[in-house]
Amino acid sequence: MSKLYVGSEIGQLRRVLVHRPRRALTHLTPSNCHDLLFDDVLAVERAGKEHDVFTQTLRDQGVEVLLLTDLLADTLAVPEAKEWLLTHQVSDYRLGKTFANDVRCYLGDLPNIELAKILTGGLSYAEMPMKSSSMMQGLHAPTDFIIEPLPNHLFTRDTSCWVYGGVSINPMAKPARQRETNHVRAIYRWHPSFAGQDFIKYFGDNEQVNYDNSTIEGGDVLVIGKGTVLIGMSERTTAQGVEHLASGLFKHGQAKQIIAMELPKHRSCMHLDTVMTHMDVDTFSVYPEVVRKDVKCWSLTGDESGAVNVKEEGYFVTAIEKALGVDKLNLITTGGDNFHAEREQWNDANNVLTVKPGVVVGYEGNTYTNEKYDKAGITVLPIPGDELGRGRGGARCMSCPIERDGI
């Protein structure tokens, strides 16, 4: 069995978790997409084909690609896992005792792959063939959801993040995404690839806990290597969440330092990786409008007691240079004039996935930025993103590395 370990952002990528959504996208409409955190409705077939090009590009680079729906279906084959997921995702408090029980009975009899698709893709009242004695069906329109779809599962980066020898199972900031976390909890607990494996769970594994304001999403977490983690405090990741993850890392001796940066709280820079990613040992892509010199920055250190010491830092670039032991960082800014740069950042020009040092996967439409990467000696493996990009996430957002070499 290969090792569950992510030692950097840029070392050879070996195993990655992705999700090819279909059912969830068919449930996305102009009237509900904003509640589901999408800016637009995607063409389902095209989005699927684009995702297939993405996964094939990864396989061509020697990366093993795990698909979330398959992992979930395999996990549901474990009776304890199935019972746990149905109890938590279709709870009595969510749907009322009678209706929850009826829905669980219906779902429990489905083949595991069908059940996995419904848990991630949603179930409307019209799609429920059973008649329940509860009041719920009479109170809802056919297009209302019994189980809301999870189109953001496409962005497997956020729900959990592997940092060195362990994983953070992330409490998500937005209600539209909170159910996603239980799927990865179940997979890491019961799936044969993970159950009984030797890895640490730093934070977020306990479904009994209300994590309240301690939210964290993987798009804000960059494992830059050499014992350092760079985390953005964004619209979705709080200082409280960062402190909890830091404490878990220090307690298990997995990291020496966390560099935490403050980001503006708006949608165009939802996560750190939408404005900054690591492409080669000394090279980052940055969107300068957001990643400015005056960004507030702290250094967190600690020890096995789990206590966290915080010290304010000056320029974040200097802190990164010191952590990585490089003389000068090479920052490649988003391409084109101000208009081009703003458009390309919105279309995830900065959100690239590095598969090995100096080789990245990115959307082909970001021509100005890709040209700059090319001139700087970074190879871009282009993928189509006309549909996928409408969810506001690029190749890094759509991938959760589970195994990757250090630097």
Q: What is the DSSP letter of 282?
A: T
Pairing relationship of beta strands 359-363 and 353-356 according to DSSP bridges: antiparallel
Q: Which of 381, 262, 260, 388 is nearest to 13 (CA)?
A: 381
SS (H, E, C) 68-119: HHHHHHHHHCCHHHHHHHHHHHCCHHHHCHHHHHHHHHHHHCCCHHHHHHHH
- Beta strands (DSSP E) in 157-208 are 160-163, 166-169, 200-203
Q: Is the C-alpha dihedral spanning 214, 257, 406, 361 positive or negative? A: positive
Which amino acid type is present at position 142?
P
Q: Which of 349, 250, 266, 350 is nearest to 304 (CA)?
A: 250
Mind telling me the catalytic residues?
Answer: 397
Q: Which of 252, 178, 186 is nearest to 217 (CA)?
A: 178
Which amino acid type is present at position 153?
H
Biggest distance spanned by C-alpha atoms of the chain: 70
Which amino acid type is present at position 256?
K
Contact 136, 96 (CB under 8 A): yes
Q: What is the DSSP letter of 217?
A: -
Q: Which residue has the tokens 């240079």?
A: 321
Rounded-to-integer distance, Cα 123 and Cα 127, Å: 6
Contact 362, 380 (CB under 8 A): yes
Rounded-to-integer distance, Cα 210 and Cα 178, Å: 11
Q: Which two tokens stand for residue 261?
A: 């940066």
